[in-house]
């Protein structure tokens, strides 16, 4: 049976799936699917798989989480991304964006002054 990540990307899934362990920290199959689609749209499906393949297996869940936060940060703050939100004391905006993505919502860029 396909993992939730492979299912939404419509790719074959096997026992040695590199995506399945990356999604275990996300609760619920729908949230796992939403996160996978969002990150794959942002970085590209091939790019996502290349990123995951390039790191040791024990670091892959942390990598996926980092990619999700960066994709959300870049979407709401296109100039500075997640680092800019952290630096400006607005990390809660990035966390809220991640929660929105996990619930299946859409994100919009913050209004720049």
Closest-CA residue to 112 (of 69, 83, 78):
78
Q: What phi and psi values does residue 65 have, to the nearest 5 degrees?
A: -60, -45
The per-residue pLDDT of the chain, averaged, comes to: 92
The stretch 24-33 carries a mean pLDDT of 93
Look at residue 112 in the predicted model and tell me its pLDDT.
Answer: 64
What is the average pLDDT across 61-78?
Answer: 96
Distance of alpha carbon 3 from alpha carbon 49, whole angstroms:
14
Going from N- to C-terminal start, the domains of the chain cover 4-102
- Give the separation between CA 39 and CA 36, rounded to whole angstroms: 5
């Amino acid at each position: 049976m396909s993992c939730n990540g492979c299912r939404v990307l419509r790719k074959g899934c096997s026992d040695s799936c590199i995506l399945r362990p990356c999604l275990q920290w996300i609760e619920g199959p729908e949230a796992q699917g939403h996160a996978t689609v969002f990150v794959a749209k942002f970085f590209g499906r091939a790019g996502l798989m290349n990123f995951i393949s390039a790191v040791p297996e024990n670091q892959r869940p942390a990598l996926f989480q980092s990619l999700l936060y960066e994709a959300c940060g870049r979407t709401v703050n296109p100039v500075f991304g997640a680092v800019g939100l952290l630096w400006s004391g607005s990390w809660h905006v990035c966390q809220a964006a991640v929660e929105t993505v996990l619930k299946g919502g859409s994100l919009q860029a913050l209004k720049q002054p």
